[in-house]
Structure 1
């Protein structure tokens, strides 16, 4: 099963693949926090659960590049960096009404929405589920858990058929090994976008009280 799920990954070029694997900062971070491997949900497991189908990189990568070229933060990566970045992403299609992330679970991957619409919902302490937003193409989901090994902040559910790009903890570790400057730039940009979004969500939740 592990070998079959591995086919979902878009591998590094052969000459670089042998260099990867030295860094295990992100792929071991959950264990460092006392979280067992069974508790941290990788994309491969979630892909099987929701019936995701592989999207060829030659179709998914250009969509991701085009979307990030228009993003005020991600466009700071130049074309060469963007080309390198594509080697570390998986690409998939998912039908409507599938929950790709669940609030309070541990997940070792993030998603970039390439096409379609996804709901971002959060269960409140008083029992109500609140719609925080509806994600559109280009938006990043789940990067907080990938970076800090914490619980998911919200539920992410496909409202339509969607195409997604996925970056997992192991792929991020590979990037840190073979493309450390690229990894540092990506992490800094993700952290900035995450901070801005959390501020906006916090303000929205405060207004609802």
Structure 2
């Protein structure tokens, strides 16, 4: 995580005009550096087909994203103008109920924001028990850990209802990093804060179960 933030800061300090910024491959190549092969990596395009996702009009998706993040403790720090700039890097979709959008222990190169609906966040324990960690609410960000560090998924995320979602994949992050590095740096920093908070909650939950 420190390496990602350091690289982002160096791009911002360089003060490059956006048109002259070098293409970034930091996020799209992270999985190979972790030992994941192309056959192991699950991109959003493949998962979207598998779960029967339908495209959501960008105007509706963008409006929902702005409204939800404006009320979020961390993401609200971006401001409306920044979120509007960010929307072009997202894909918006609708997913039916009872679909595994994210699966535990797989390599996935995307994160998602729940815009409407509810998802179950479950983790299978080493002894086989399936533990319900949480149920997401609109505005919740899921899957960002794997997008940021190229590692395997910590848990599974399953739609309990029809869910409208906003998806940001590794290629989108790289495009943002190249064309708008200051915006990318702000997003990564805020994602890191949210992720740290959530992992503390999950760790406490797992500690209670194992007692």
**TM-score of the superposed pair, with normalisation by structure 1:** 0.90
1:84-104 Cα shifts (integer Å, max 9, x gaps) = 011110000000000001000
* CA distances 1:118-177 after superposition (whole Å, capped 9, x unpaired): 000000011100000000100000000000000000010000000000000000000000
Unaligned runs of 5+ in 2: 1-17
Query: How far is 1:34 from its partner?
Result: 2.1
Partner Cα separation in structure 1 for residue 64 and residue 160 of structure 2: 20
Match of 1:145 in 2: 146
1:78 CA displacement: 1.8
The Cα of 1:19 is off from its aligned counterpart by: 6.9
TM-score, normalisation: structure 2: 0.89
User: In 2, are the aligned partners of 1:175 and 1:182 still within 8 Å (CA)?
Assistant: yes
Task: State how far apart, in whole Å, the 2-side matches of 1:152 and 1:59 are.
Answer: 29
Residue 3 of structure 1: aligned partner: none
Alignment of 1:166 onto 2:167: yes
4+ aligned runs moved over 4 Å, structure 1: 17-21
Report the equivalent of 1:48.
49
Residues 1:35 and 1:18: Cα distance change in structure 2 (over 3 Å): farther
CA distance in 1, matches of 2:112, 2:20: 25
Distance 2:20 2:58 in 1: 22
Q: Which consecutive unaligned segments of at least 5 residues does structure 1 have?
A: 1-16
On the 8 A contact 1:21/1:173 being kept in 2, the answer is no
- CA-atom RMSD in angstroms: 1.4
